[in-house]
Chain A
Amino acid sequence: MTPTSVARKTLLAAVPLLAALFLSAAGQPTVHVAPMDSVGPRPVEQQTRSSIVRDYLQAWQSMGTALGENRPDLLDASFVGLAKDKLADTIREQRSLGIASSYRDQSHDLQVVFYSPEGLSIQLLDTVEYDVEVRDHGKTVGTQHVRTRYVAVLTPTESRWKVRVFQSGS
């Protein structure tokens, strides 16, 4: 076996691995949703089951972009009330310090734990893994991998569910 053939074989073997790593880094987070059949006190409607997950994951995307670009207006689509106020405050702090943080969610393990009797709030727990990268005036400070649990309360608006309480920790 010549050194050239070894190099070729090594490169060929590395291509699928590199592709998988690349896709995993740039792709959507993996999402697991626990069954909602026993959620109470109000049964979760079929339409709500899909929309609540879709809107919550969209909220993560909105938050990631808003904190990464320091643009509080991007929160409007997915956040309301308390959650929006707190995230907007953080963005203002970041902007005044010249800091930006990028949140890249990698996996979500979602469990709906409460759907209020009148259908006006739904609470879910999310064991989430994400990377947070911090930049100071454009220079990378560092990146950390985080695994934690989020508690989110979503409330219905005219067109979608929006996150009203968004808090990590146990």
Chain B
Amino acid sequence: MRSWVTLLCALIVVVTVPGLAGHASAQASDLRFPQKVEAGTAFSVSTTGSGSATLYIIGPGDTIRRVVHLGESISFGPDDLHNAGHYVAFLVSGSSTQNAQFEVTASHQAATLSFLAKPSRLPVNLPNGVSGVAYVFDIFRNLILQPQQISFELSDSSGRAQIRSATSRDGVAWVKMNSAAKAGPAQFQAEVASVRNKRVIQQVPGDPCSIRMTAHGLGQKDKARVALETEPVRDCNGNPVPDGTIVTFTETYQGGQSMVDVPLKRGVAKTELPSHNGAVISVASGVVMGNEIRWSGGL
């Protein structure tokens, strides 16, 4: 009776937890794979015994099944295993199975860079405004985890360049850089060994600085209206503010108000408003205020 109960328990344990059966067989390993293999390199594995067997190599990156002759070495060419990762191997001959595990590592030679440059557009003169992140891959698109020296270069439209160097860690390196004072497209480049990747960053003018406008009557053309025009609008670094930027003219007079949002065209904003003697006319763009005029030429 006691032996029957013991057998039953053992059976239940084995049926319920199939992994344990696997563990038991996995420990009986005679297959000798190298612990690490570089992706894309040839290598061979020796076997013992005689007769034929089936070799399985399984990993998330590659799957191989091959009939081999025991007692001979098994050769792998450069194209057989090129995805880095952890692999398990089974050598099945009749009822016996030999197990092994090994790693395929990335090649040390960088072949491609995934370069994330952000933002693609930012105002001039912004400290640490540009970020660059580079992931380094080998020719088989494996992430190279060994440290690599990566050079980052941001050059503005006048050719002035900022250069930073960073060492990759676990396959990634990053930098932050300042945007230039001069507006225009900037080239942002990451380079490792002789592999380069380039992005374009648009450095755009900042907020308008000291907006100034003038007002004049339209004379005989229309005495009831006043013409308003700004001087060319620039940011605080002297860059012309892009056309299309909205400039708001507001005219306040006794008991009323007129206003208009005008886009800059060819660097200036101009419009006409009803003419009111004693009206105060102001100009602004976004949250930046310009000058004020007290109009005394109205009706």
Q: Is there any pair of Cβ atoms, one from A and one from B, under 8 angstroms apart in the complex?
A: yes
A residues adjacent to B (C-beta < 8 A):
3-4, 6-7, 10-11, 14, 18, 21-22, 25, 41, 63, 67, 82, 86-87, 89-90, 93-94, 97, 99, 101, 103-104, 113-114, 116-118, 120-121, 123, 125, 131-134, 136, 141-146, 148, 151, 153, 165-170
CA distance A21 to B2 in the complex (A): 23
What 10 new A-B contacts, CB under 8 Å, besides A86-B83, A132-B88, A151-B171?
Answer: A21-B13, A99-B58, A116-B116, A141-B56, A142-B26, A146-B88, A146-B101, A148-B86, A153-B143, A165-B135
CA distance A120 to B119 in the complex (A): 11
B16 on the interface (CB 8 Å rule)?
Answer: yes
Are B56 and A136 in contact, with the CB atoms below 8 A? yes
Q: Which of B17, B36, B97, B116 contacts A142 (CB 8 A)?
A: B97
Q: Which of A6, A18, A104, A121 contacts B133 (CB 8 A)?
A: A121
Q: CB-CB < 8 A to B65: which residues of A?
A: 97, 99, 136
Q: CB-CB < 8 A to B174: which residues of A?
A: 41, 114, 116-117
Closest residue of B by beta carbon distance from A143: B22
Evaluate whether A134 and B16 lie within 8 angstroms (CB atoms) in the complex, with A3-B2, A143-B21, A165-B135 already known: no
**Beta-carbon contacts under 8 Å, B136-169 to A:** 141-143, 145, 169
Q: CB-CB < 8 A to B12: which residues of A?
A: 14, 18
CA distance A93 to B58 in the complex (A): 10
Min Cβ gap A159→B in Å is 21
B275 on the interface (CB 8 Å rule)?
Answer: no
Are B86 and A169 in contact, with the CB atoms below 8 A? yes
B198 on the interface (CB 8 Å rule)?
Answer: no
B78 on the interface (CB 8 Å rule)?
Answer: no
Are B172 and A167 in contact, with the CB atoms below 8 A? no
Count of B residues near A, CB < 8 Å?
Answer: 57
**Beta-carbon contacts under 8 Å, B4-32 to A:** 4-6, 9, 12-13, 16-19, 21-23, 25-26
Min Cβ gap A122→B in Å is 10
B282 on the interface (CB 8 Å rule)?
Answer: no
Q: CB-CB < 8 A to B52: which residues of A?
A: none
Q: CB-CB < 8 A to A6: which residues of B?
A: 1-2, 5
CA distance A121 to B19 in the complex (A): 35
Q: Which of B13, B58, B84 contacts A134 (CB 8 A)?
A: B58
Evaluate whether A131 and B141 lie within 8 angstroms (CB atoms) in the complex, with A6-B5, A97-B65 already known: no
Which of A11, A101, A144 has most B Cβ within 10 Å?
A144
Are B60 and A90 in contact, with the CB atoms below 8 A? yes
B103 on the interface (CB 8 Å rule)?
Answer: yes
Q: CB-CB < 8 A to B116: which residues of A?
A: 116, 118, 120-121
B118 on the interface (CB 8 Å rule)?
Answer: yes
Chain A to chain B: the 4 pairs with minimum beta-carbon distance, closest first: A143-B22, A118-B118, A117-B131, A3-B1
Q: Which of A11, A87, A167 contacts B5 (CB 8 A)?
A: A11
Q: Which of A25, A97, A114, A169 contacts B145 (CB 8 A)?
A: A169
Evaluate whether A82 and B63 lie within 8 angstroms (CB atoms) in the complex, with A117-B133, A143-B26 already known: no
Are A167 and B143 in contact, with the CB atoms below 8 A? yes
Question: What would 26 A/B residue contacts be, using CB atoms closer than 8 Å?
Answer: A6-B2, A22-B16, A86-B60, A86-B61, A86-B141, A90-B60, A99-B58, A99-B65, A104-B19, A113-B170, A114-B170, A116-B131, A116-B133, A131-B19, A131-B22, A134-B88, A142-B90, A142-B97, A142-B99, A146-B101, A151-B143, A151-B145, A153-B171, A165-B135, A167-B106, A169-B145
Closest residue of A by beta carbon distance from B104: A169
Q: CB-CB < 8 A to A99: which residues of B?
A: 56, 58, 63, 65
